[in-house]
Amino acid sequence: KVDLNTIDVVRELAKRFSLPVKNITFAGLKDKNAVTEQHLAIKGLKKFPKEVEGKNYKLSLVGFSDQPLKLGNFKGNYFEIVVRNVSKKERINAEKNVDFIQKYGFANYFGEQRFGSVKNAKEFIVKHLLAHKYEEALQEYLFSYSDWKIKRRLKRLWGNWRKYLNAMPQQAIYERKLVEELAKGVSYKQAFLALPKNIRLMFAFTYQSYLWNRFLYRFIVRYFPFCEVPQGIKDWTYAFYTHMSDTLFEKVKNLEIPYLGREYKPSDLKVERIIEEVLSEEGISEETLNQERIGIRLFADGVRKAVAMPRDLKMKRLSKSTVKVSFILPPGSYATVLLRKLFLCQRVQ
């Protein structure tokens, strides 16, 4: 596929085959702005042609399974990326960083793709849900267009649901279903249930990813020499460690940071203190962690490695300002994060 993310394709296929979205499963999300390949599993089709082609995507039948695909069902991702308009400074940074990253990895932040739903929003939807502000939460979701003309028109029509529907983009299938429920007179809270559960869960995952990035950022800034680079969304930044000893690396290479530290208590006291600090700053208490809204638990338990280790990291200069980079990343690690470390992080010797 090209110029489509995984969810775009899944929605299109569900519509094409008249199937519920939940019948189409995948092991991970692929970016929109790339040429990507991945496996999908489709349940409920009586007949499947060897190939299916649509606008900007193509499916080929590779086999059958008794089980759906699940997140994490893959061993890693191989990337080949051509980076253009590379400045001399960025190229020199990358040349210096290649060996360091191969040996000591890089900070395993969630990448900017994880935060697409808040790129044009003022606040995390979960923050409104925690405060029982369901109208504000819906507005945050339904106004999150990059086109300011569409956003302004929708704000003006808020509450006039029939006119609002006419002003909405036709391809906004699930958002339109939500507004149709509002037009029937249901509450703002109930309207959220018109969204598929995976979209509602996305609201929670996005906020948890933001919190986890803050945990890791503070850990690095507090305990390592570091460089700071923009994340590519809002004014957020990444901090990457720029120096590492073999002895220290043995301690941190397998360090796992919990998403929230409720079920998965940190093994590192420094990390535990940082988590407590960040949650306090966000106004999140032990009681908050147990809460549910709109049919989902807002905070799920889990852990994530603090350090990502790429394999076969190679860089080839194609021209004065063009570089080709290839590497393999473990599941859940982001190529965009590695590239920011590689090209933008200056290691002071």
Q: How far apart are CA 138 and CA 186, in angstroms?
A: 13
pLDDT at 103: 97
Element (H, E) at 243: none
Rounding to the nearest 10 degrees, give the CA dihedral for residues 72, 77, 82, 83: 50
What does the mean pLDDT of the chain come to?
Answer: 90
Average pLDDT over residues 88-105: 95
As a whole number of angstroms, the distance between CA 118 and CA 203 comes to 9
CA 128, CA 140: separation in Å to the nearest integer? 9
| pLDDT > 90 fraction of the chain, expressed in percent and rounded | 61
| pLDDT tens string 219-266 | 999 999 999 999 888 889 999 999 999 999 999 999 999 987 567 788
- Look at residue 131 and tell me whether its pLDDT is greater than 60: yes
C-alpha 45/C-alpha 62 separation (Å) is 15
What CATH class does 75-105+309-349 carry? alpha beta
Which residues belong to the active site? 31
- Give the model confidence (pLDDT) of 256-267 as tens digits: 999 875 677 888
pLDDT band at 174 (very low <50, low <70, confident <90, very high): confident
Instruction: Retrieve residue 109's tokens.
Output: 């932040």
**pLDDT band (50, 70, 90) for residue 348:** low
Q: List, for residues 194-205, the tens digit of each pLDDT value.
A: 998 888 998 999
Task: Name the nearest CA neighbour of 40 among 11, 76, 18.
Answer: 11
Share of residues in the chain with pLDDT > 70 (%) = 98
What local confidence, expressed as pLDDT, does residue 64 receive?
87
pLDDT in tens, 290-309: 889 999 988 988 899 999 99
75 vs 20, residue with greater confidence: 20
Kindly report, residue by residue over 31-82, the tens digit of the pLDDT.
777 788 888 999 988 787 788 898 889 999 888 888 888 766 777 899 999 9
Average pLDDT over residues 108-125: 86
Domain boundaries, the chain: 6-60, 75-105+309-349, 106-305
Greater confidence (314 vs 35) lies with 314
Q: Is the pLDDT of residue 216 over 90?
A: yes
The mean pLDDT of 174-191, rounded to a whole number, is 95
Is the pLDDT reported for residue 9 higher than 70?
Answer: yes
